[in-house]
Amino acid sequence: METIKKTITIALAGNPNSGKTTVFNSLTGSRQHVGNYPGVTVEKKEGYRDHKGYRVRVVDLPGTYSLTAYSIEELIARHFVVEEKPDVVVDILDATNLERNLYLAVQFMELGARLVLALNMSDLAKVRGYEVDREKLSVLLGCPVVPTVATKGEGMSGLLDAAIAQMNETHNLPSVTVKYGWEIEEEIARLSSLLEKCDELASNHSPRWLAIKLLENDTEVREQVRRQCGNSDEILDAVRRSTQHLETVFGDAPEIVIADRRYGFISGACRESVRSTGQSRYDMSERIDSVLTNRIIGLPLFIGLMYLVFQFTFTLGAPLMELLEKLFALMGNVISSLWPAESESALKSLLVDGVIGGVGSVLSFLPNIMFLFLAIAILEDSGYMARAAFIMDRIMHKVGLHGKSFIPMLLAFGCTVPAIMATRTLEHRTDRLTTILVTPLISCGARLTIYAMMIPAFFPLAWRARVLWILYIIGILLALLSAKLIRVTVLRGESTPFVMELPPYRMPTVRGVAIHTWERACMYVKKAGTIILAVSVILWALTSYPKSKELEKEFDREMARVQRLLVSNGDTGGEAAIQEKLDQLQREKEAQMLAHSAAGRIGRFLEPALRPLGFDWRIGTAFLGAFAAKEVFVAQMGIVFSIGDAETSHRSLRQKLHENYSRLTGFCVMLFAMIATPCVATVAVTRREAGSWKWAIFQFGGLTVMAYILTLLVHQIGLLLS
């Protein structure tokens, strides 16, 4: 038994849908760790496994089709191979789709990586009628080819054996290179010899690879040459001349010809090594697709499925959410009981109202998030997600979004937080950012509680449903308009292409779905949760401090007086009335304390700015509190109007609202609530998913400004008309 284990690092690469994640899960089991690649929001998964005296570290590279500089995932994959120099790169190939999968493998060969190819889903390939001569393929490509069936965990040990053997292989790599034909080879040779002189770059990269990348007009390699090479002018000038020369020879850009040639090499290798064992049997996946993306029933089926996802996420989540809320209320009570009943300890308030309230609001999203990601994992692993995008793209593309933006936006009707997390399914950053930025405009469930309280206060029964619809539609329109606006301003640029694989339908595995869901839940709690908690505590402090000793004393005296009255007065009818009076006093105390608090002061301070919208300081203060969570607005309004628990006394709050505000103001409040200031959880999750505070602040500021301007317009025009 060895005491010191040798560690070997394997980078797992492959096309999306090649079964790479399944291989990763199969290899590492539960010993994995999810993080991010430094500086970007692309996930980095790592895991360990012991194999024959080696400690194998497996790093899951992002799933890509190529290694260009056009996408962040592809850049990350190639940076990892170049800079961190894994001992072996294992490229997972979908054996049922070998040609396209080999395109990536060929590029790893060019990069000079020690490569092992995993012929995954080799069982399916056999069913489809392909027989791959692995020996031959291995000779043609110059690297070992190992059959695997990751869903059944088959071939994992063989894969590791091959990786270790490949690592210990001493012959010089790579033994096989793609030849691009003499015209291109000549230019490659010319550029290589120039690049060899650039020690800083050539020490880390193969000159041939650099030359090819330069001919492919790779922006990153160009930049590297410019920065690191003394003879950069000479090199770039040579590249320009070579490119021009090749363009005249081929009548096409060299990057296209190079891609052509790679496929030429690959189809040559495939012709040699893949044998079709007769007519392939009927394709199950195509059968399923002929129903699910059918011209006529495809759309209704999609809507039905989305309804199911929505119900699954929010209906199944609701009882759990309530349970969690009860649990936290109970916890609050237990902790409160540690102090004497009358105590007004600041620590108690911090713990019960600040911390437990905050943790409660973090965790109350958890059931929704878990169920949502369970649903999304099933949709993605089965292959339906791509179809959903396929079906909805026509509409979403009109506003500069991608078909895949639809699902997050739909989920936003339930809750913005999981919706923003669902944007992870979008591959392109611009699409993803745009979707994240506009998602809060879709009215979420919490805003519905605001509408539900406000609408009956100002509108007659016949109008109510209509007003609600109008609000929702305004939200949707604003989201679409903002998306369009963002795409022509901040995130300008070509609309991202819809060049998307429609992968074959596959049965999701319980394990894959479970791991996926669990990861998301952990990520939410760890990353977004901490921010939400911190802000919740700050908001608690803002609405509780500073306290006014005089006010407290005054109320205490008054309450003590009423108390005495209760004791001296024997009859029961009076008791109820006095109790009522006591409660009233308590509520008034809370209202005045809130008015006195920092939040109240800010509300007053902002009042001049809010006046033109028809808002007074009370509404301002309530909105401030609503930052913790939208539904808090209702509770805060209850407190400022001394109604007490607003949930149980909607009627009296509505009465108060009706007395104090006009119908126009009521509508403006709802409009403002809909557009402005996403809740803290939204901001936290945006920061998390967009990767920087910049976007979270942009979203926050943009929405607030938009809300202010629109509400101002509506209010002023409304005043003019009435």
Partner 1 sequence: MPESLVLSASLEDYLEAIYYLVTENRVARVRDISTRMGVNMSSVTGALRQLSSYNLVHYEPYEVITLTEAGIARAKEQVRRHTIVKNFLLNVLSLDPAVAEDNADRMEHAVDGETLERFVRFAEFVEKCPRGGREWIELFRQFCEREASNEQCERCLRSCLEAIGRRQDGLKPMPENSTDIVPLSGLAPGEKGRVTKVGGQGPIRKKIVEMGMVRGTEVEVEKLAPLGDPMDIKVKGYHLSLRKEEAAGILVEKLPRSPAKGEK
Q: Between residues 33 and 179, which has the closer beta carbon with respect to partner 1?
A: 179
**In a 10 Å sphere around its CB, with 0-12 CB exposed, 13-18 middle and 19+ buried, how is residue 265 labelled?**
buried
Q: Which residue has the tokens 């021009």?
A: 244
Q: Which of 329, 350, 491, 502 binds partner 1 (CB under 8 A)?
A: 502
Residues within window 402-441 making contact with partner 1, judged by CB under 8 A: 403
Least Å from the CB of residue 293 to partner 1: 7
> x/- binding map, residues 97-136, to partner 1, per CB under 8 A?
x-xx--x---------------------------------
Total residues at the site for partner 1 (CB under 8 A)? Answer: 54
Q: Under a CB-based contact definition with an 8 Å cutoff, are residues 425 and 309 in contact? A: no
Q: At what angle do helices 207-215 and 98-111 cross, to 10 degrees?
A: 120
- Looking at the Cβ atoms of 259 and 712, the one nearer to partner 1 is 259
- Who contacts 463 (Cβ-Cβ below 8 Å, separation ≥6)? none
Residue 50 interacts with partner 1 (CB under 8 A)? no
* Nearest distance from C-beta of residue 278 to partner 1, angstroms: 12
- Contact positions with partner 1 (CB under 8 A) in 142-201: 179, 181
The only residue of 298, 445, 456, 718 in contact with partner 1, by rule CB under 8 A: 298
Q: Minimum distance from CB of 183 to partner 1 (Å)?
A: 10
DSSP label at residue 353? I
Measure CA of the first residue to CA of the last residue in the chain; give whole Å.
89
Q: Is residue 579 at the binding interface for partner 1, with CB under 8 A as the rule?
A: no
Q: Could you tell me if 45 and 60 are in contact, meaning their C-beta atoms sit under 8 angstroms apart?
A: yes
Per DSSP, the three-state class of 413 is coil
Q: Output DSSP code: residue 442.
A: S
- Taking CB under 8 A as the criterion, which residues in 317-336 touch partner 1? none
CB of 31 to partner 1, least distance (A): 33
CB of 159 to partner 1, least distance (A): 23
Q: Rank residues 272 and 344 by Cβ distance to partner 1 and give the closer one.
A: 272
Q: What is the DSSP letter of 69?
A: S
Give which of 579, 576, 585 is closest to 557, Cα–Cα: 585
Rounded to an integer, what distance in angstroms lies between the CA atom of residue 288 and that of residue 293?
9
Compare residues 82 and 259 and give the one whose CB is closer to partner 1: 259
Applying the rule CB under 8 A, the residues between 8 and 47 that interact with partner 1 are none
What is the distance between the alpha carbons of residues 34 and 28, in angstroms, rounded to a whole number? 12
Residue in the block written with tokens 């005043």: 719
How far is it, in rounded angstroms, from Cα 615 to Cα 600?
14
**Positions in 249-268 near partner 1 (CB under 8 A):** 250-251, 253, 255-256, 259-261, 263-265, 267-268
Binder of partner 1 out of 210, 391, 442, 646 (CB under 8 A)? 391
Q: Which residue's CB is nearer to partner 1, number 140 or number 238? A: 140
How far is Cα 290 from Cα 101, in angstroms, rounded to an integer? 25
Three-class secondary structure assignment of 639-694? HHCCCCCCCCCHHHHHHHHHHHCCHHHHHHHHHHHHHCCCCHHHHHHHHHHHCCHH
Piece in contact with partner 1 (CB under 8 A), picked from 288-296, 633-641, 677-685, 691-699 = 288-296
Angle of helix 632-640 versus helix 445-458 axis, rounded to 10: 40
140 contributes a contact to partner 1 by CB under 8 A: yes
Characterize the bridge pairing of strands 32-36 and 43-51. antiparallel
Q: Closest distance between partner 1 and the C-beta of residue 239, in Å? A: 17
Q: Note whether 500 binds partner 1 by CB under 8 A.
A: yes
Residue type, 689: E
Binding mask 66-95 for partner 1 (x = CB under 8 A): x-x-x-------------------------
The CB-of-407 to partner 1 minimum distance in angstroms stands at 16
Could you give the 3-state DSSP secondary structure of residue 529? Answer: helix
State the nearest-atom distance from the C-beta of 187 to partner 1, in Å: 16
Would you tell me which residues interact with partner 1 (CB under 8 A)? 65-66, 68, 70, 96-97, 99-100, 103, 140, 179, 181, 250-251, 253, 255-256, 259-261, 263-265, 267-268, 271-272, 286, 289-290, 293-296, 298-299, 302, 386, 390-391, 393-395, 397, 403, 494, 497-504
